[in-house]
Structure formats: C-alpha cells, structure tokens
Amino acid sequence: MNAPDAPGDPDAPEEPLTCARCGRTADTLPLTWTFSVEDGRRVYFCEDCSRTNLRAIEGRLDSSWW
C-alpha cells in the first residue's frame, strides 16, 4: 500500500501547489500546510491561512464559509 502523497499516488498533489486562500505557492508540499477535500477535490492552505482559520477548519466548514 502506498503512503499518502507517495510517488505514483493518484491523490498526490500537482506541483507547484497554490494556497486556495492567499495564492502563495510552494514547489513541494510543506509539512506546515493543510488540505481539505471540498467538492471531491483537495484544496491546500498555507501555514498562515491555516492558522488564521484554524477554528473553521477544525469545525470542518468548507472554505467558502470562512
């Protein structure tokens, strides 16, 4: 079984990644970024946006609510 985001994993993020809130980009997935599955696709958030919206993320609200 492949580890999450392992090479060959069909759910692995396409690179470069872009934060869905602020547009920050990263060449590879930083450990400090979070993601959510919304409408069947992964949406990534940078460290700053994740920290700012932590309560909404923990409440499992879609990003459209925050």
**33-64 pLDDT tens trace:** 998 888 888 999 999 999 998 887 777 766 77
CB 65 within 8 A of CB 56: yes
The CA distance from 58 to 51, in Å, is 11
* Two structure tokens written together for 6: 């392992």
The CA distance from 52 to 22, in Å, is 12
CB 13 within 8 A of CB 42: yes
- pTM surpassing 0.85? no
Does residue 16 or residue 57 have the better pLDDT? 16
For residue 42, give the DSSP letter: E
